[in-house]
Structure 1
Amino acid sequence: MPPAHHAPMNDEDEHPQRYGLVNELHARPSPRLKAPCTAVFLAIKEPRDAANRDRGRDVAHLAALCARHGAPRPDTSAGHYTAQLGRHQLRWESHTEFVTYAAFAPGLPPRPFDPSAGAIFPEDWQHDAPGKRIAAVMIQVDFLPENPADILPRLSDWFAADSLASVWVLEEAAVVAGDFRIDPAGWMRFALFVKPDTQPGRIGRIVQRLLDLETYRAMSMLGLGRARDLTRQLNALDPQLSDIVQGMSDESRPAEAVLQDLLSVSTRLESAATQHAFRFGANAAYEAIVMDRVASLRETRFLGGQMLTEFMARRYLPAMRTAKSAEKRLAAMLDRSERAGELLRTRVDVQRSAQNQELMQRMDRRADLQLRLQHTVEGLSVVAISYYAVGLLGYALYPLAHALHIDKAVLVAALTPIAVLGVWLGMRRIRARLHDGGH
């Protein structure tokens, strides 16, 4: 039976981002490392508005490093780059707020954690970076002795005892140790001891998780300074907001004045929320990555030493709780100001309703007065018109009255009620027509 022939896929049927999204899954594989080796790592971040930085400057800075070592020039649109710089394997990645440089070299420096191991990143080149170092890590990977306790003297020499964390990772495939302190040369040190049969891929994943752990720990703790600044602002605004809320029951104080004070406080709270929203959101994401990297190491206790989870619980998580507390307090004060605004609007509406009711009562009294005045004027008009009408009729009928020997006074007396009645009926008819015409 002949093999089936499938028609080629039509590119027009593919979503324009499909291949790019799939390639992104494979764009940043973990390095494959063999012990012994050394990893040096930098994370560089612009101090302000790093998410909107000019990424072309990051690529230009990478290109300058590549040019020093004769490596291929990076693509200006690339978000990641790998190259061989002499004996170092370089990996560069661009992230939302920062860029990272990782260089891996076989072997160990002459002295443990010798600053010369970081010479792949020259000081003058770092000084010209479009940002500042937020993380600088040096990891030494060596073989684990047959007796794991033999590494304890080295750990005592390399790290501070009060903050040293040393653990088995990945089902006791390796030992990770570090004190999360910065040495005199500016590097944070980690030691990784692997069993001789540990595969390069597994070593690379452990190293990558340690680099991620330190990078995102540093990035997440940027929110701590922001949280402290925000707390100072909230400490100043909280009494003002409380005074405004308590003073809303004071009827002697105009609502307009209270509204101006409330608007001032609310505006500052909204401004603070806008300024800190991105940082607090990023902190939560970075914290989740940190805890994920710790969990992915699957650590167990090493010779009674402190575990990474214990170190994080005592040293790291309180800082994160401080940031979250400031964020929650800001949200609570925004809710209070919003409720105060609603109460103030209710108070203003009640006052306006009372004013409107009083105004309507005034209008009713004024309309009633106008109606009475109108009736008075109409009565006077009837009298005035009747007076002139009687006079005109008297002149008109006087010859007839003279012929009939009727006295003029009698004639006037007879004409007066007739004229008054006629004028009154005429006025009513005119008013009725005006009323019907208005409707």
Structure 2
Amino acid sequence: MTPTTLFAEHDLRQTLNDEFHARPPVPLESPQLISYLAFHQQDVAAGEAQRHLAELGERLGRPLDAGGPHCLLDFGAFQLKWELHNEFTSYTFIRPVARGEGLDGSTSALAVVPQDWLRAIPGRLMVATHVELRSAAEVSPEEVMAQLSPTGRQMVGAMVADGAAWVFTDFLFEDGFSRFLVIDVSLTRRQAGRTVQRLVEIETYRLMALLAFPVAKDVGRLLGRAESDLARLMDRTGSARSPEDERGVLADLSALAAEVEHSVARTTFRFGAARAYHSLVMQRIEELRERRITGLPTFHEFMERRLLPAMNTCQTMARRQEDLSGRVARNSQLLRTRVEVELERQNQELLAQMNRRAKLQLHLQETVEGLSVVAITYYASQLVQYMAKGVKHFIEPLTPEGLTAAAIPVIAGIVALGLHRMRKALAAADGGH
């Protein structure tokens, strides 16, 4: 009885466990020639690398399913370890050789791989390195050290795996390849595989980390100009004397903010990837368990002296960029607040003017209402007079003139009271809304 028959299994359980055990080192036994290639996958269609790998299998009579992100293929004359990463694909060609074969550099693991297939690998070459795994009986460390002294070349070397091997390199390109020499003193096959894997990963992650350095230089030029622009805009803010001046500065600040934010969005991934790659480089060097070879810098010292300054530059540019983005945002907010305060002041002045106009209209309205009472009273009294003249024989001894005079105060009071009630009703209705 298995857990899968008892429990509902998570869809990713097996996949995650397989990933945990993925990409193990290939056990190696000296002498071996290893050639490692890594191709940047920008602008490469999805699945193209897998299709190209399957083509090699068909050509060499070993059909394969390259649908996964990694595989190890044995073609007899050589082995190929293929891996698909986020930004690059790597090809590790492993070729066993006879003792002493290729010591003069006349051959490599790539010599037995179809050359037209190699030329058609999709992507742009990022890393190319040859690793020679030789036994101490073939190449002694003392011989290598003796050859180094007259050349004057800057060599990096260390005893690794607690002294079980010696490693030498200069990290320079020779015919387009960097080179590592691993002298096997007492490595096990798995130790040898892990050592070679760590060396090619150091070379890969070193160059991938350095992809951010040209970006950092470009960002540095942008930041120098943007910081000067920000200083000039702040000077303009201090000398602004009108809302139009402030709005002009705010528009320029908004344009500067957009430019800086575009740079942040464009470079955030590259700087973050550089930090991750640099961390992997130093981790792989630590896993080598170096011991110093007298007269040679260790891998850790070399990276501290050559790679770390570039990484520090990238981190500094990233921090400056984030700091500038924050400063532009703060200054924009301050200026925006200043513009808003000025607009509020103008709105208050406008409201005050509207209030004065409303009061004036109210006075005019009251005046008009007073005139309306007089006018209505006048016309109503005329109607009363006309009516009184028509019935003057029935109202004797009163005269039409006397009756009209007596009606005028009554009419005026009724009209004034009516207008007052109407105004009160309108005010009550407006208050209800």
Closer, same or farther in 2 for the Cα pair 1:404/1:31, shift >3 Å? same
Whole-angstrom distance in 1 between the partners of 2:167 and 2:141: 12
Whole-angstrom distance in 2 between the partners of 1:373 and 1:61: 92
Whole-angstrom distance in 2 between the partners of 1:339 and 1:383: 65
Closer, same or farther in 2 for the Cα pair 1:84/1:422, shift >3 Å? closer
Deviations 1:376-430 (CA, angstroms, capped at 9, x unpaired): 1001111111111222222333445885445655544433333323322222222
Identity over aligned pairs, percent: 36
Deviations 1:211-266 (CA, angstroms, capped at 9, x unpaired): 11001111111111122222222233222233223323313344432332222222
Whole-angstrom distance in 1 between the partners of 2:140 and 2:37: 33
Q: Which residues of 2 match residues 12-161 of structure 1 at below 5 A?
A: 13-46=8-41, 48=42, 53-70=44-61, 72-107=62-97, 109-144=101-136, 148-156=141-149, 161=152
Q: 2:253 aligns with which of 256, 259, 262?
A: 262
In the TM superposition, what is the alpha-carbon distance from 1:122 to its structure 2 partner? Answer: 4.8
Number of residue pairs matched by the alignment:
425
**Match of residue 426 from structure 1:** 418
Closer, same or farther in 2 for the Cα pair 1:67/1:109, shift >3 Å? farther
TM-score where L is the length of structure 1: 0.89
Kept after mapping to 1: 8 A contact 2:33/2:108: no
Kept after mapping to 2: 8 A contact 1:238/1:333: yes
Closer, same or farther in 2 for the Cα pair 1:147/1:98, shift >3 Å? closer
Kept after mapping to 2: 8 A contact 1:80/1:93: yes
Residue ranges of structure 2 left out of the alignment (5+ in a row): none
Q: 1:235 aligns with which of 224, 241, 252?
A: 224
1:211 aligns with 2:210: no
1:153 partner letter: A
Deviations 1:286-318 (CA, angstroms, capped at 9, x unpaired): 111101001111112112311111111111111
Whole-angstrom distance in 1 between the partners of 2:395 and 2:4: 127
Whole-angstrom distance in 2 between the partners of 1:335 and 1:279: 20
Closer, same or farther in 2 for the Cα pair 1:20/1:102, shift >3 Å? same
**Match of residue 212 from structure 2:** 223
Kept after mapping to 1: 8 A contact 2:141/2:183: no
Residue ranges of structure 1 left out of the alignment (5+ in a row): 1-5
**Match of residue 314 from structure 2:** 323
2:144 partner letter: I
Kept after mapping to 1: 8 A contact 2:212/2:271: yes
In the TM superposition, what is the alpha-carbon distance from 1:137 to its structure 2 partner? Answer: 0.9
Kept after mapping to 2: 8 A contact 1:394/1:415: no
Whole-angstrom distance in 1 between the partners of 2:392 and 2:92: 132
Q: 1:306 aligns with which of 284, 297, 318?
A: 297
Whole-angstrom distance in 1 between the partners of 2:192 and 2:212: 32
- Comparing 427-436 and 361-370, the one that deviates more: 427-436
Kept after mapping to 2: 8 A contact 1:103/1:120: no
In the TM superposition, what is the alpha-carbon distance from 1:66 to its structure 2 partner? Answer: 3.2
TM-score where L is the length of structure 2: 0.90
Whole-angstrom distance in 1 between the partners of 2:50 and 2:6: 31
